[in-house]
Structure 1
Amino acid sequence: MSNENFNTLAAFAVVARERSFTRAAAQLGVSQSALSQTVKALEARLGLRLLSRTTRSVAPTEAGERLLRTLAPRFEEIEHELAALSALREKPAGTIRITAGEHAAMTVLQAGLSRFLPDYPDIKVEIIVDYGLTDIVAEGYDAGVRLGEQVAKDMIAVRIGPAMRMAVVGSPAYFATRPAPKSPQDLTQHNCINFRLPTYGGLFPWEFEKDGREIKVRVEGQLVFNNMGLRLDSALAGLGLAYMPEDHARDHVAAGRLVRVLEDWCAPFPGYHLYYPSRRHASPAFAVMAEALRYRGA
């Protein structure tokens, strides 16, 4: 049905229900003359008189009553559905799929969602832990979480975490037989626990910065993982040096189970961002979640 036909039938239904062109015109926000012409055009197209008009009243004819009985429940159904959609806007619902690395999922998303989800029982969030730089559009995700410097320029990014620092750590047992590195280049003489990037298949370089000088070191060692927990466990076991977010190792360093080195070479860098392709297609559920996760610290 064209918009013109729909609007014409809707106009007739209001006049027939109200039995007054004056009241119907006020409801529809049109002039009485325009409304009268609309109904006349409908009658002419059908070849039937739908309304009996006198100077004092308007009443449906037999054909008009039949048409009104057909239209009324359908327009009522449409009104109910529009009201339901409005309620959805007021009470967001739906499933949101997010891809994120393990550290981001554990330290930022889990904490943020634990505060957010209890207030929105009709929203479901599915988090897929993936270290690769996933194409969220091609893979059907609503959003991804990555470090700010890894977010593509054509994406919309919302900062959801504080600035971060990395840490190089090893166990006291490891350093009992080896001197602590004094500079990043010294790491080439150590047994380092590597991290393989699934997207490109290469080993993740250890990045350092001090006084504006940036250095990337390709380290060597006996172990390679694509999991942060195994790297931490291996460092605790004395199997080598590990490079990871400082908050992941902080408690172990404080307890003396790990020793941190090269701290002055580990400068802060932009933290995690939620990114997605376009604001135009964001559902109400996604919009309230993104706002709830937004980082508001210094």
Structure 2
Amino acid sequence: MSRELATDRLAAFFETARLKSFTRAAARLNVSQSALSQRVLKLEEELGATLFVRGNDGIRLTETGLRLLRYCQAKDQIDAELLRDLKEPAVGDLAGPLRVAAYSSILRSAVLPSLAALLRGNPAIQIEFQVHQTSALPRVLREGAADFIVLDRRLAWSDVTALPLGRERYVVVESARRASPPDIYLDNDPDDDVTRWFFAGRTDAPDYRRAFMSDVYGILDGVAQGLGRAVVPRHLVRRGSGVREIEDFSMRHVDIFLHHYTVAAPASLHKQVVAALVGECGRHLDSD
């Protein structure tokens, strides 16, 4: 009996898992929805496990489905690298899809510049950067929506590798040019707890009201315009940005970790991404 999974069945599963829709996956593969469903069903029978759960809110992957999705993603990356090498062996460029998810203050200021040289030198990499709230990032990784996530804590998952990238230091800032109310603090949204976390347990904690600016860059713009103070990562406080650090409050910090599923034989792209982020992120986080 063959130990190999049928390619057409894997393709049907992979496309359905990526698009979270049998209808759209069938259209993408140019087959009928019935044919696609049959391929997925045959794959489930072959594996002896359910891959999708269907509900009122659509479809979601089971634990077995998530494991198979990670296999398909790794295979897709290795296949892309091999095809690139075979077509242009003298170039040896890295190739394939790459999805990196992080929260806003880290993505633009540390993750993107850390990967920029790698991406410039390897234009066949199909990059997709994603911004999510920190609370959503573990789910993004678990559901296979990203290959790597960057988070402000370490996930203690047995099948996930967590690597330290550096430390994000938080300070209080105000406008450098305009008078601003000292009792208003700007946050992303009502669920953002950075200000509360920063002042928790401190004897010098002020009484304050909150206003909301959507994201950390909106917060910095609001502070520069004199709308209030804010607690932000120190590496975002740039010269000429219109904000300045208030040194009355001592810094607090969080450690930053890169997470990815542990793989026995990672593709070259995977290894290069890890090396770039581990090697460069700390430098960007430490910059003033």
Q: Same fold (TM over 0.5)?
A: yes
1:68-127 alpha-carbon deviations (Å, 9 max, x no partner):
xxxxxxxxxxxxx9xx57947965421011111122111112211211123323322210
The 5 Å alignment of 1:87-236 reads 87=85, 91-132=93-134, 133-134=136-137, 135=139, 136-147=141-152, 150-154=153-157, 155-160=160-165, 162-171=166-175, 173-174=178-179, 190-196=183-189, 201=191, 203-208=193-198, 220-236=208-224
Are residues 1:279 and 2:263 paired? yes
Rounded Cα–Cα distance in structure 1 between residues aligned with 2:261 and 2:206: 33
Are residues 1:244 and 2:232 paired? yes
TM-score by length of 1: 0.54
Q: Which runs of 5+ in 2 are unaligned?
A: 4-78, 284-288
Percent identity between the two aligned chains: 18
Please provide the CA RMSD for this pair: 3.7
In the TM superposition, residue 2 of structure 1 has moved relative to its aligned partner by 6.3
Rounded Cα–Cα distance in structure 2 between residues aligned with 1:240 and 1:104: 23
Q: Name the larger-Rg structure.
A: 1
Q: Which runs of 5+ in 1 are unaligned?
A: 4-80, 179-189
Rounded Cα–Cα distance in structure 2 between residues aligned with 1:141 and 1:225: 26
One-letter amino acid of the counterpart of residue 164, structure 2? R
TM-score by length of 2: 0.56
CA contact (8 A) 1:168 1:244 kept: yes
Q: 1:222 to 1:165 in 2, by over 3 A?
A: closer
Are residues 1:290 and 2:271 paired? no
One-letter amino acid of the counterpart of residue 293, structure 1? L
Q: Secondary structure at the match of 1:243?
A: strand
Q: Secondary structure at the match of 1:121?
A: coil
Rounded Cα–Cα distance in structure 2 between residues aligned with 1:120 and 1:98: 16
Are residues 1:266 and 2:259 paired? no
Rounded Cα–Cα distance in structure 2 between residues aligned with 1:216 and 1:279: 47
Rounded Cα–Cα distance in structure 2 between residues aligned with 1:242 and 1:287: 37
Q: 1:112 to 1:282 in 2, by over 3 A?
A: same
Rounded Cα–Cα distance in structure 2 between residues aligned with 1:215 and 1:281: 51
In the TM superposition, residue 225 of structure 1 has moved relative to its aligned partner by 2.8
Rounded Cα–Cα distance in structure 2 between residues aligned with 1:152 and 1:117: 27
1:186-242 alpha-carbon deviations (Å, 9 max, x no partner):
xxxx11112337xxx4543444489xx768969743521331111111111111111
Q: 1:168 to 1:285 in 2, by over 3 A?
A: same
In the TM superposition, residue 285 of structure 1 has moved relative to its aligned partner by 1.5
CA contact (8 A) 1:207 1:217 kept: no
In the TM superposition, residue 260 of structure 1 has moved relative to its aligned partner by 2.2
CA contact (8 A) 2:102 2:130 kept: yes
Rounded Cα–Cα distance in structure 2 between residues aligned with 1:207 and 1:146: 16
1:113-169 alpha-carbon deviations (Å, 9 max, x no partner):
21112332332221011124321121421111122xx23111312233x42311211
